[in-house]
Structure 1
Amino acid sequence: MTIKLERLEQIIRKEVSEILQFEVKDPNAKFITVTDVELTRDLSIAKIFVTFLNKEVSNEEQMATLEKAKGFIRSELGSRLTIRKVPELLFKIDDSLEKGNRIDEILKNSKV
Structure 2
Amino acid sequence: MSKDHKSTGPTQRMLRVGELVRHALASIFARGDIEDDAMRGAVITVPEVRMTNDLKIADAYVMPLGGQHAEEIVAALNRHRKFIRGQVAPQLNLKFAPELRFFVDDTFEEAARIDALLRSDKVARDLQDDDENQDRDENQS
TM-score normalised according to structure 1 size: 0.84
Question: Aligned in 2, Cα 1:2/1:64: closer, same or farther, shift over 3 Å?
Answer: closer
Same amino acid, percent of matched pairs:
32
1:68 counterpart residue number? 79
Work out the CA distance in 2 between the residues paired with 1:5 and 1:55: 28
Q: 1 CA distance for matches of 2:13 and 2:56? A: 15
1:4 is aligned to 2:13: yes
Stretches (4+) displaced over 3 A: none
Following TM superposition, by how much is the alpha carbon of 1:92 offset from its aligned partner in structure 2, in angstroms? 1.2
1:54-93 → structure 2 map (5 Å cutoff): 54-56=66-68, 58-93=69-104
> Hey, what does 1:52 align to over in structure 2?
64
Partners of 1:60 and 1:18 in 2: CA distance: 21
Post-superposition offset of 1:54: 4.7
1:16 corresponds to: 25
Larger radius of gyration: 2
Question: Structure 1 residue 17: deviation in Å?
Answer: 0.9
Where in structure 2 are there 5+ consecutive unaligned residues?
1-9, 126-141
Query: Could you tell me how far apart the structure 2 residues matched to 1:51 and 1:67 are?
Result: 14
Q: Does 1:103 align with 2:114?
A: yes
Q: CA deviation at 1:25?
A: 3.5
CA RMSD of aligned residues (A): 2.0
Q: Report what 1:41 is aligned to.
A: 53
Alpha-carbon separation, structure 2, partners of 1:26 and 1:99: 29
Deviates more, 1:28-37 or 1:68-77: 28-37
Offset at residue 53 of structure 1 (A): 2.0
The structure carrying a bigger strand percent of its residues is: 1
* CA distance 1:7–1:55, change in 2 (3 Å): closer
Instruction: Give the SS at the match of 2:34.
Output: coil
Q: Which moved more, 1:72-81 or 1:22-31?
A: 22-31
Q: 2-side partners of 1:6 and 1:42: how far apart? A: 12
Task: Report how many aligned residue pairs link the two structures.
Answer: 111
